[in-house]
Structure 1
């Protein structure tokens, strides 16, 4: 008999984007047999916003009878203390590591508000990331093949193999300019790369997926269609994987990977550097 999985409310709260809180929280909670109900509150920078968040925490505590788990990152001491007055179990995602580093380096930490840091002191980096996102959106799903010389990466694969979410994640998180191109019937019939890609071979990377998983994904959009049939999916994948091998294009199978893992493995294989902001 399997033990009953417990359910807990979880809050991610930050004076910045809360992405770090979510990332750390997900990594930690994945170690436990828990089902979580998550809420995220970014840019909690003043007393009024904290008061509203505390109300949500208290509602959770009253409804469940258990203190919710709160992964948080706060810079302003007054705001942090106000948050800590709520009925919750708190986990400061940065403080422990900051203390260790400060002790090892014998330096005093000087915290800054994340959003102010992003748009002020590192303004050029902030706008570089916005430009990367705009570039990636304008080159999504083969919309445009202009300006490939500006691309950091060109993702290739059949429709619904994970190209778009991976492209956007890499643009938003790493500031990379990513083109993604879906092979269409004409490409598969000719079984060759487009001339536009030949000069940019070093930027090419392929995504593939198991036929069963591809059929499942496509069926959720167009059930009982040729596009979603197992036969069609198998034929497309065989053709594309053959092309990847023949043209020596590196590729990975995305079937059981999250977008975070797909992106990390691409960086590992290509040697591209993350641009952090």
Structure 2
């Protein structure tokens, strides 16, 4: 999923609000991921998000329709993204008072034509494991990312494909999780703090893995805004502190030849693509 703190800031007065429903006959991950990727192109709108998984019966769909209609009655102008496969369930959902977007319609028909066969209507096929080894690799990667989030553990850092380093609130965690979940990469992240800058080298915890390190930065104003939401009116969120931390971090990256990028106007998907290419983790 895309981290809204990484999107360009838009004045609150200029923003509109819409409801977004992600409806699936399985876990909802596919519907939420694809739908959110589309919504990310509209940063001036606040979306009230509702993920509704395991809608695999007509009666279940009708219950969801009631929720969507209630949202419409409140003036939320709902948009429904769905990956539901059964035609009867999908037809029931289409009766909702909302803009209905079938994320997989058309593509399935194209595949049927290309492959010369009809797609199975078995539930969960969109979300099937497929390659079990790939599935388990992704789950292991997520567990690794959780253990190594924000420098919590130094265990097995030698196994990391990437070590993301950056000052607090530059986008380390969402990028780490995206790379783990989408690509099965073992990714750790480490926060740069005041204690890491007395020397010219990388922090001791990650210095042995310089060739696997990738840095993130942002703009001082953006970092100050994000931190202010967490700790308002603190030294931590002050523009002066943010400016200092970012300048020291970028100097550290350059001295140690660590590649880095500015996360202020990039989505998690874009940042991950740059990391994959820069670190030569995908052809």
| Common fold: TM-score over 0.5 | yes
Aligned length: 269
Deviation, 1:138, is 0.9
> What is the Cα deviation at residue 182 of structure 1?
1.0
Q: Which runs of 5+ in 2 are unaligned?
A: 1-13
Q: Structure 1, residues 114-165: CA drift from partner, whole Å, max 9, x if none?
A: 379545x544433322221111111111111120122121001112221122
RMSD over aligned CA atoms reads 3.2
User: Which residues in structure 2 correspond to 1:89-168 (within 5 Å)?
Assistant: 89-110=99-120, 112-114=122-124, 117-118=127-128, 121-168=130-177
Distance in structure 2 (CA, Å) of the matches to 1:146 and 1:264: 26
Q: Which residue of 1 aligns with 2:67?
A: 56
CA contact (8 A) 1:17 1:115 kept: no
Instruction: Report the counterpart of residue 53 of structure 2 in structure 1.
Output: 42
Q: How far is the alpha carbon of 1:250 from its aligned partner?
A: 0.6
Q: Is residue 205–residue 250 contact of structure 1 (8 Å, CA) maintained in 2?
A: yes
Q: Secondary structure at the match of 1:227?
A: coil
Structure number with bigger Rg: 1
Distance 1:64 1:246, change over 3 A: closer
1:125 and 1:14 map into 2 onto residues whose CA distance is 22
User: Scaled by the length of structure 1, what TM-score is found?
Assistant: 0.81
C-alpha displacement of 1:9: 4.2
For the 8 Å contact 2:31–2:103, the answer to whether it is kept is yes
Correspondence 1:1-277 to 2 at 5 A:
9-28=19-38, 30=41, 36-64=47-75, 68-110=78-120, 112-114=122-124, 117-118=127-128, 121-273=130-282
Query: Is the Cα contact below 8 Å between 2:19 and 2:76 reproduced in 1?
Result: no
Q: What's the offset of the Cα at 1:53?
A: 0.5
Measure how far apart 1:34 and its partner are. 6.5
Q: Which protein, 1 or 2, shows the higher relative CO under an 8 Å CA cutoff with sep ≥ 6?
A: 2
Contact kept, 8 Å, 1:6 with 1:34, in 2: the verdict is yes
* Change beyond 3 A, Cα 1:262–1:77: same
Instruction: Tell me: CA distance 1:149–1:113, structure 2 relative to 1, closer, same or farther (3 Å).
Output: farther
Provide closer, same or farther for how the CA distance between residues 113 and 219 of structure 1 changes in structure 2, counting only shifts above 3 A.
same
The superposition leaves residues 29-58 of structure 1 with CA deviations (integer Å, 9 ceiling, x where unpaired) of 547986654432122123443232021133
**CA offset digits 1:44-98 (Å, max 9, x no partner):** 12344323202113324555597x4322112233323333344444322112012
Contact 1:102 1:109 in 2 (8 A): yes
**Distance (Å, rounded) in 2 between the aligned partners of 1:247 and 1:18:** 42
Bigger fraction of residues in helix:
1
TM-score by length of 2: 0.80
